[in-house]
Structure 1
Amino acid sequence: MDIFRFNSVSYGYTKDKPILRDISFSIREGRKTAIVGANGAGKSTILFHLNGLYTQQQGDIFFHDQKLDKKVRKELFRHVGIVFQDPDDQLISLTVSDDIAFGPLQMDVTAEEAQKRVEKYIKLLGIEHLLTDNPSELSYGQKKHVTVAGVLAMESDVFILDEPMAFLDPYGKERMASILQLLQDQGKTVIVTTHDMQFVAEWADDVIVIHQGQCLGTFQARELFGRHDIMKQANLTLPPIVELMTAIWTGNKEDMPIRVEEAKRWLTKKI
């Protein structure tokens, strides 16, 4: 079942320079969807339409088969949480505790319940020691985790992240990946934009490819990496594991490992 559907959507910051050009695609409920494309392709602009920050200039957007009109868009924040690429765009309070509680309180959650959610999600992310700190004084990775905790605390149906792995160290990436998997296990719809194609290989159920404001198609990761025409057109590069396996694989391409653990198992058998 589709949770979002774009029908011939166009949007531009100026009339003569459209960012999205007659774009159409669907995002399925309960799936892990990666939106990929080169810088300037329109990925972030799509995300801002998904949570109602932007209003399309042409075409229609549907959420659960409801057209996103002014009334539906006003309530969308209750269902869709978004983590911006730059956490400084999202942190607004003087303490980590207040920042995480801010979203739930805007949704008419009681102060007691909001505090319970704060405690729950700082423990999940391992940031209990930051509870009374000023978010503006934290490191980039710490700020990122605070913004993620704030969106988790809203307990939305849809969880959106703009470049979630950007500028995180290996430990931060592992923790982020585990959080995304947890959301999937809870039945959430998770949508990310990313340049990290190995992350796409490891994580995504569906991959929407965007090029110059248009959708080149929706693929499964394994299918996309075999479409060299699409990869080239969208200025995407193969993940390191896929590049390695492509050079040495002699079997059926549909069975070729694209994930790290898959490649390890296959290589171990060959040694």
Structure 2
Amino acid sequence: MVSVAEYSVALSEELFRVEGVHFRYREGSPWALRGVDFVLRRRRRVAFVGANGSGKTTTFFVLRGLFTPEKGRVAFRGTEVYPAPTLPAREREKLLQSVGILFQDPDDMLISLTVLEDVAFTPLHRGLPWEEAERRARAALARLGIESLADRPPRELSFGQKKLVALAGLLAAEPEVLLLDEPMAFLDPRGRRLLLAILEDLFASGVDLVVATHDMRFVARWAEDVVVLSEGTVLFRGSPAELFRRDDVLDAAGLEDPGV
């Protein structure tokens, strides 16, 4: 297991600090996360990798505040959000609203009759008037080059289009951090190139990005920091180059060197 103590990061550079986090979906069930420790830094391209069931999605849900750890501590930008006995729930949620999460299946995020209404949903939910929510929604659609989809029903879109619409909904909320769960999954080569260009644009504009992925070629070419999960624990944290020299970690996590 990797200890947080191994990573001395200035508080101003911290994005997330996770210490000894345990989580299970119900009492008596196996631990989905077992003593997870890591520190993520701001302005770094971060990738989480691991086999199915390793804990990547669960970790993202904990970071966004959708799941509450049973044990351990989580801090976001130097402020403890779990267990956070002195931080009111409303203030904690307000803090975490700057973190957007893109689910692996975009159908889990699309609920409205039209694309425009879907993308405007979060700004409206946070109390903005329709005029401002619509402005943000149209700007997000334009940024992703899909403004022509505004009046389409989400159910009629391709998988790749749905993924972009779901991402536009996050951008309309003007996040400072994006957690992206398998963003490249099921995209064709053109869709992958488009999404990669979008990620580069977002990162350049100041949005911190954390990606969960099985795509080791993407990790080799894009990531600066990698966290390897296996059966709910952290096996490794370091650079892609360091990871690809560790056959023991790759074998234990069921990963392959992409040979890039």
| TM-score between both structures, scaled by the size of structure 1 | 0.85
- 1:35 correspondence with 2:48: yes
Q: Distance in 2 between matches of 1:77 and 1:26?
A: 17
- 1:4 correspondence with 2:23: no
Shift of 1:217: 2.1
Q: Distance in 2 between matches of 1:154 and 1:116?
A: 11
Q: Which runs of 5+ in 1 are unaligned?
A: 243-257, 259-271
Q: Which stretches of structure 1, 4 residues or more, deviate above 4 A after TM superposition?
A: none
Kept in 2, the 8 Å contact 1:163–1:193? The answer is yes
Tell me what 1:222 maps to. 241
Q: Distance in 2 between matches of 1:3 and 1:59?
A: 17
Q: Distance in 1 between matches of 2:240 and 2:230?
A: 17
3-state SS, counterpart of residue 62 of structure 1 = strand
* Selected match of 1:191 from 191, 210, 222: 210
Q: Distance in 1 between matches of 2:216 and 2:144?
A: 24
Residues 139-169 of structure 1 show CA distances to partners (whole Å, capped at 9, x for unaligned) of 1111111001111111111011100000011
**One-letter identity of the residue aligned with 1:41:** S
Tell me what 1:125 maps to. 144
Q: Which runs of 5+ in 2 are unaligned?
A: 1-12
* Selected match of 1:159 from 174, 178, 184: 178
Q: Distance in 2 between matches of 1:3 and 1:130?
A: 34
**One-letter identity of the residue aligned with 1:25:** F
- In proportion to residue count, which structure has more helix? 1
Compare 76-85 and 192-201 and name the one that shifted more: 76-85
Tell me what 2:126 maps to. 107
Q: Distance in 2 between matches of 1:27 and 1:105?
A: 31
Q: How does 1:38-187 map to 2 (within 5 A)?
A: 38-68=51-81, 69=84, 70-187=89-206
Residues 217-271 of structure 1 show CA distances to partners (whole Å, capped at 9, x for unaligned) of 21111111111111111110111xx1xxxxxxxxxxxxxxx3xxxxxxxxxxxxx
Task: Indicate how the Cα distance of structure 1 residues 145 and 75 shifts in structure 2: closer, same or farther if over 3 A, else same.
Answer: same
Kept in 2, the 8 Å contact 1:103–1:150? The answer is yes
Asked which structure has the greater CA Rg, the reply is 1
Q: Distance in 1 between matches of 2:128 and 2:44?
A: 27
Q: Distance in 2 between matches of 1:193 and 1:83?
A: 10
Kept in 2, the 8 Å contact 1:52–1:76? The answer is no
Count of aligned pairs between the two proteins: 241
Compare 149-158 and 106-115 and name the one that shifted more: 106-115
Q: Distance in 1 between matches of 2:90 and 2:35?
A: 24
Q: Distance in 2 between matches of 1:92 and 1:50?
A: 23
* Selected match of 1:13 from 25, 38, 53: 25
